[in-house]
Amino acid sequence: MGKRKEIKINSTEFGDLLNVSQQTASRRIQNLEEMNWITRSIEGKQQKIEITELGTEIMLNMYRTLKKILDTILIAGEVSEGIGEGGYYVAIKGYYEQFKEKLGFEPYIGTLNLDLDVINNSLLREKLNDMRFIKINGFKDENRNYGDVKCHHCYVFPLKDKENKVKAAILNIDRTHHGKNIVEILAQPYLRDYFNLKDGDKVIIELIHDDKN
Amino acid sequence: MGKRKEIKINSTEFGDLLNVSQQTASRRIQNLEEMNWITRSIEGKQQKIEITELGTEIMLNMYRTLKKILDTILIAGEVSEGIGEGGYYVAIKGYYEQFKEKLGFEPYIGTLNLDLDVINNSLLREKLNDMRFIKINGFKDENRNYGDVKCHHCYVFPLKDKENKVKAAILNIDRTHHGKNIVEILAQPYLRDYFNLKDGDKVIIELIHDDKN
DNA sequence: ATTACTATGTACCGAGTAG
DNA sequence: TCTACTCGGTACATAGTAA
């Protein structure tokens, strides 16, 4: 080993592996050879198959591409009116300083609220649970306790202007606060003006994952 | 929003989206309806499509399944003779105590060396670079300096006995030490005896990722 | 303008079988 | 015992067109 690997397999076994007939399996092997993804040496009853460098490259690239597609989750939402719970938090000094430091930008005082449909909401919650989060620590002042806030890096951009991505953060706030499928976005600019958004406009959230899982 | 989303699209547009003809797109929509993945209300020239709960479930499951397949990387290697660099490290007290504590098991003093072919080696290195590692800190004694060691949780099992997985760890040692595509495995039992392995036997490494990327 | 039926073409599968 | 050719069947695509 430590080199290109030689496989001994006949078309029947290969067919069983792929759940197709011997004939189809044979044809597949021929096709792979025509595409130069493998080389063969047939010696009577023995067929030795070796994956070429091209074949290796293509397999790895397929893998990477598929993985990238599945990892790059885009969530679509519609701009929703009002200031959410999150918008209130941003203004509080105890939080603001942490947002500034941990997110790497000075957030606009207020959040952009996006209304998600059921599918996008499910996907987003599932992804967020699987991702590392940035923890904004809770604290207390003379009046009350402020809890921890989780957030996640992301990009946002209007559906109509995919080239113009803005670095932002999702506030992962317990949604029971608004009861609806709303997600709040924090960013440096005032996004409504920056993107010229109106209520109901479609905005895309692109989750950023640092890929150190 | 905040509910199931209604889409207005005609078969021509849908065809453009999928790069198929209007006729094919129309048939696809009919199929989706027959499978109860969508419901439709055709009102003259307007066709409103709504994804059903079943459709949503199936899409999310497809996504999860595909993702799991791509995330669950199995690396195949052959048992290789000799004690590697890593086997030497394990015996050193400064390392051993850390292995014990950070890996969650008391490793056998010695490693199982697996020889990988080019493809498996590429994949493994690529994955390891993308994954979080457990850092075994370097130290120095009166004689010399000992560097950091990276390792990763994994399972190993013989190709012939897939049910019998053993928790283990990959030592991610700079491979220039042996020049070949060898990976060293640490586990609590002496794997050669435990699995009754001989040189050349095929062993599978299943990478564990905590999925907090 | 829009859906979807019918007809036709094409790709691919597997049975049978030759070499 | 193998690979792989021929051939018939099936699935699915698109063009043309009816409703």
The structural domain count of chain B equals 2
pTM of the model as a whole: 0.80
Q: What are A69's two structure tokens?
A: 């597609």
**CA-CA distance, A183 to A185, in Å (whole number)?**
7
Protein residues with beta carbon less than 7 Å from any atom of strand C: A 15, 20-21, 23-24, 27; B 10-12, 22-23, 26, 29-30, 42, 45, 47
Residue A134 lies in a domain: yes
Tell if the CB–CB gap between A56 and B118 is shorter than 8 Å. yes
Scan residues 2-31 of A and list those with Cβ closer than 8 Å to B.
2-5
Contacts (Cβ under 8 Å, ≥6 apart) of B129? none
Q: Dump pLDDT digits (tens) for A112-140.
A: 999 998 889 888 988 888 888 999 999 98
C-alpha triplet A111, A114, A119: angle, nearest 5°: 145
| CA–C1' A111–C1 (A) | 43
Pick from B67, B84, B113: which residue ends a domain? B67
Residue B1 lies in a domain: no
Smallest CA–CA separation between B161 and chain A, in Å? 18
- Helix or strand run (H / E) with residue A9: none
Residue A153 lies in a domain: yes
Burial state string for A50-59 with b = 16 or more CB within 10 A and e = fewer than 16 = ebbeebbeee
Residue A190 lies in a domain: yes
- Average pLDDT on A28-37 reads 95
Q: Which residues of A touch B1 (CB under 8 A)?
A: 77-78, 80, 115-117, 181
Measured CA to C1', what is the nucleotide nearest B22? D14
Find the length of chain B.
Answer: 213
CA B148 to centroid of chain Cα atoms: 24
CA B77 to centroid of chain Cα atoms: 15
pLDDT at B19 over 80: yes
Same domain, B204 and B102: yes
DSSP B141-196: -SS-EE--EEEEEEEEEETT-TT--EEEEEEE--GGGTSSSEEEEEESS-HHHHTT
| CA–C1' A22–D1 (A) | 13
Same domain, A41 and A92: no
Q: What is the CATH number of the domain that holds B44?
A: 1.10.10.10
In strand D, the nucleotides that come within 7 Å of a protein beta carbon are 1-6, 12-16
Same domain, A79 and A127: yes
Same domain, A79 and A104: yes
Residue B94 lies in a domain: yes
Pick from A67, A84, A118: which residue ends a domain? A67
- How are strands ordered across the β-sheet holding A46-51? A6-8, A46-51, A38-43
Same domain, A115 and A207: yes
Q: Dump pLDDT digits (tens) for A39-76.
A: 999 877 788 999 999 999 999 999 999 988 888 889 99
- Helix or strand run (H / E) with residue B93: helix B93-103
- The mean predicted confidence, pLDDT, of chain B is 88
Contacts (Cβ under 8 Å, ≥6 apart) of A65? none
Same domain, A124 and A20: no
> Which residue has the closest alpha carbon to D15 C1'?
B23
Same domain, A50 and A155: no
> Which residue has the closest alpha carbon to C12 C1'?
A24
Q: What is the CATH number of the domain that holds A191?
A: 2.40.30.30
Q: Which residues of B touch A210 (CB under 8 A)?
A: 213
Same domain, B51 and B82: no
- Average pLDDT on B156-180 reads 83
Q: Which residues of B touch A121 (CB under 8 A)?
A: 2
User: What confidence score (pLDDT) does residue B212 get?
Assistant: 44
Same domain, A129 and A42: no
Residue A145 lies in a domain: yes
Distances (CA, A) of B31 to A119, B39, B51: 21, 11, 13
User: What confidence score (pLDDT) does residue B45 get?
Assistant: 76
- How would residue B119 be classed by pLDDT, with cut points 50, 70 and 90? confident
Is B202 an 8 Å CB contact of chain A? no
Q: Which residues of A touch B117 (CB under 8 A)?
A: 1-5
Pick from A40, A67, A94: which residue ends a domain? A67
Residue A1 lies in a domain: no
Domain range for residue A94?
A: 75-211
Same domain, A127 and A84: yes
Same domain, A25 and A117: no
Same domain, B47 and B146: no
Smallest CA–CA separation between A115 and chain B, in Å? 6
User: What confidence score (pLDDT) does residue B174 get?
Assistant: 63
| CA–C1' B45–C1 (A) | 7
Q: Which residues of A touch B3 (CB under 8 A)?
A: 117-118
